Amino acid sequence: MIEKFCGTMLRDDRRFALGVWLPCDASWTSPLNAATIPHRADGVRSMPPAIDPFRITDKLEPSALDVMIDRLEVRGHHPYFAKPLSEYLDRMEIDRRSTVLDLGCGTGIAARAIAARPGFEGTILGIDRSDYLVQAARRFADDEKVGGRVRFERGDSHALGLGSASIDAVVAHTLFSHLDDPAKVLTEMRRVLRSDGVIAIFDGDCASLTFELADAERSRRMDDAIIASLVTNPRILRQMPRLLKDAGFVVDAIMPTIITEIGTADYWKSAIESFAKLAPKAGILSEAETTAWVGEVLDASANGVFFGSSVYYAYIAHAV
């Protein structure tokens, strides 16, 4: 198994994203039932409506949120994911920051990692739109004995109830690919950040997410369906240089990571298992389709022929 490869990756990127029109020569079919997407009046195909469950965590039932919590915790503690988090926190010089804001904190993986750093003596506020996730974050923080340094509250990253120029550092850890309005969140980050502050945006380049099946064309279709089912903005990190500039930031560093597993799934295993329960909620794939895909991918892992990969980026920036 190849544990991780960091570098440059090129790939066929004929992707569609939620709410994006495809060229008229493009096509998409439901991977198992071959139902073709309808045309618009001008001949352009549109994709079926989908709901990114990570975007509506305040509306999900506890059973779905429990699946999400398990995935966030397993992923967050996996060395493949913990390492880039630690590296971008170092690049931010997070230990010398007095007040840190963790947007879309989920279970508090980033906030707890900051609070546990030996050199950090500040305070952290984690904000998430889901009260259920906020409660989970508080439990995990107490379990890890960092609850006195970090607090978690329900809130909306698009409209922070915080004073202007009140925060030394803002972290958005796997948030932006699920946002309704990324530009508005960047504007809020700029508003609350002090003049000498720093931000970090870390997320997957979800348009690069891929799991190979025995049939290459079916692999492409299922990649497309999984991405559209679970991600609102799969290309957001490619748009980030423009968005940051428009919001009044200057990029200090870009830190890429590629997480690729070949042969056997380890990091990707819990992701695949969580997709089985979360992806059908978006309305593109049925439970039967998703279950069949999960079985095929995990069989590939059991037989030593698994391939799964995605690119991640961390953007470090300061305000101007």
Q: Which amino acid is at 109?
A: I
Look up the domain containing 105 and give its range.
53-319
Q: What is the pTM of this model?
A: 0.84
- Judge whether 9 lies within some domain: no
- Judge whether 37 lies within some domain: no
Our count of domains for the chain comes to: 1
**Per-residue pLDDT tens over the stretch 71-96:** 999 999 999 999 999 999 999 999 99
- Judge whether 126 lies within some domain: yes
Mean pLDDT computed over 21-42: 38
- Judge whether 187 lies within some domain: yes
Mean pLDDT computed over 34-60: 61
**253-292 as b/e: b if 16+ CB within 10 A:** eebebbbbbbeebbbbbbbbbbbbbbbbbbebbeeebbeb
- Judge whether 199 lies within some domain: yes
**Per-residue pLDDT tens over the stretch 95-131:** 999 999 999 999 999 999 999 999 999 999 999 999 9
Which candidate, 275, 201, 268, 212, places its Cα nearest to that of 238? 201
Count the residues in the chain.
320
- Judge whether 10 lies within some domain: no
Helix (H) or strand (E) holding 195: strand 193-211
- Judge whether 112 lies within some domain: yes
CATH for 86:
3.40.50.150
Task: Report percent pLDDT > 70 for the chain.
Answer: 84
Mean pLDDT computed over 177-182: 95
- Judge whether 212 lies within some domain: yes
Lowest-pLDDT range of 2-6, 78-82, 94-98, 153-157: 2-6
Mean pLDDT computed over 201-217: 97
